[in-house]
Structure 1
């Protein structure tokens, strides 16, 4: 394999990206065990969860989809990792297209298309009751991104193919967003999966503030993990 290269993902790569994420989160307590309790019975259906969401969010201009690629012995690119970074706050709004730009229709149209797709090809690996639990939890903790935390580069998702883990791919994908945040003078943030707190602290996240499972009525209550970590830009002394 060649040296790891980071670049923007292509829409045509979303199926492969979805499979990378499905494999990376296979045993995760939330995306694996809770949302996909039948994943071992129907392993080919797990990627549908990631694919349908990716095909909608890909058209949100506040998001940056990064892939880490290597080249195999034939020169073919192999996606070894994926990061979904989102620019929150006013900085994110500036990335959105003009109100009159017809390309703004791509996200809502894709959302409708994926709703139909889910009806025609439901995932047998998932629990229908839990499949949208993450989306339902947002109102309970998204207020944390307010005040001095409103402007942020947020690491929405990070996944590395299991057979490429341990090669600093996840660290490089994480550092991309940390550098973006530092350049803009804003914070970086992430909701850590269970067991990943140490990894994010080693990457440079320095403060733990908030948890995505907190809040009365939060559907994620009782789910382990989900600490929110922050990295603040350096200030001139």
Structure 2
């Protein structure tokens, strides 16, 4: 195997990316146990959750989809890890090239297409009541990204294939966004999965402020983990 390198993901790689994320979060208390309680009965359905969301968000101009790529013995790219970084605030709006940017049309079209896809091929691994629990929780905690925290590079998702874990791939994908935030003079932020707080603090996130399960009526209430971590820039742009 060669040295792992980072590059932008391609749309054609989304199915493989979805499978990497399904494997990485297989035993996670939220994405594994709560949202996919039937994952062991229907293991081939779990990636559908990630794939449908990826096919929509791939066209959001604020998102950067990064893959950590290795080469197998035949020279074929192997996706070892994936990071989804999102530029929040006014800085995110500036990433839009123009109002005629085709991505502005593609995203709503894919929202409809993926609803049809879910109707035709429902995931038997999911609990249908909990499948959209993350989306329903956003209004209860996304106000944390306001005031001095409004401008941020937010690590929306991070996953490393189980057979590549322990090789600093997750740190490399995380470092990319921390460097972007430092260059822009804004904070970096992440919602930590259960048991991952230590990883993010070692990566450089220095402040814990807020939790994605808090707020009266939050459907995530009672779910363990979900602390929100921040790293502040040393310099201003």
Q: TM-score, normalised by structure 2?
A: 0.98
Q: Match of 1:205, SS?
A: coil
Decide whether the 8 Å contact of 1:191 with 1:229 is kept in 2: yes
Q: Deviations over 1:12-58 (max 9, x none)?
A: 00000000000000000000000000000000000000000000000
Alignment check: 8 A CA contact 2:61 2:103 kept: no
Shift of 1:99: 1.9
Uncovered stretches (5+) of structure 2, i.e. residues with no partner: none
Aligned residues: 236
Q: Which residue of 2 aligns with 1:173?
A: 173
The reply to whether residue 88 of structure 1 matches residue 88 of structure 2 is: yes
Counterpart-to-counterpart distance in 2, 1:164 and 1:101: 36
Check if 1:222 corresponds to 2:222.
yes
Deviation of 1:9 after TM superposition, in Å, equals 0.1
1:182 is matched with which residue? 182
Q: Partner of 1:109: helix, strand, or coil?
A: helix
**How far is 1:212 from its partner?**
0.1
SS in 2 for 1:95: coil
> Which residue is equivalent to 2:197?
197
2:108 corresponds to:
108
- In the TM superposition, residue 102 of structure 1 has moved relative to its aligned partner by 4.0
Partner residue in 2 for 1:7: 7
Deviations 1:65-121 (A, max 9, x none): 000000111111100000000000000001124223344110000010000000000
The aligned residue for residue 73 of structure 2 is 73
Partner Cα separation in structure 2 for residue 102 and residue 30 of structure 1:
34
User: Do the aligned partners of 1:154 and 1:189 also contact (CA within 8 Å) in 2?
Assistant: yes
Q: Which moved more, 1:97-106 or 1:141-150?
A: 97-106
Q: Distance in 2 between matches of 1:102 and 1:26?
A: 34
SS at match of 2:69: strand
Structure 1: gaps spanning 5 or more residues? none
CA distance in 1, matches of 2:102, 2:139: 29
Give 2:148's aligned residue: 148
- Residue matched to 2:36: 36
Partner Cα separation in structure 2 for residue 57 and residue 235 of structure 1: 30
| Counterpart-to-counterpart distance in 1, 2:104 and 2:54 | 16
Contact kept in structure 2, 1:21 and 1:47, CA below 8 Å:
yes
Does structure 2 retain, via aligned residues, the 8 Å contact 1:97–1:104? no
1:123 CA drift (Å) = 0.1
Distance 1:209 1:103, change over 3 A: closer
Partner of 1:53: 53
Structure 2 Cα separation of the partners of residues 95 and 235 of structure 1:
21
Q: How does 1:11-26 map to 2 (within 5 A)?
A: 11-26=11-26
RMSD: 0.8
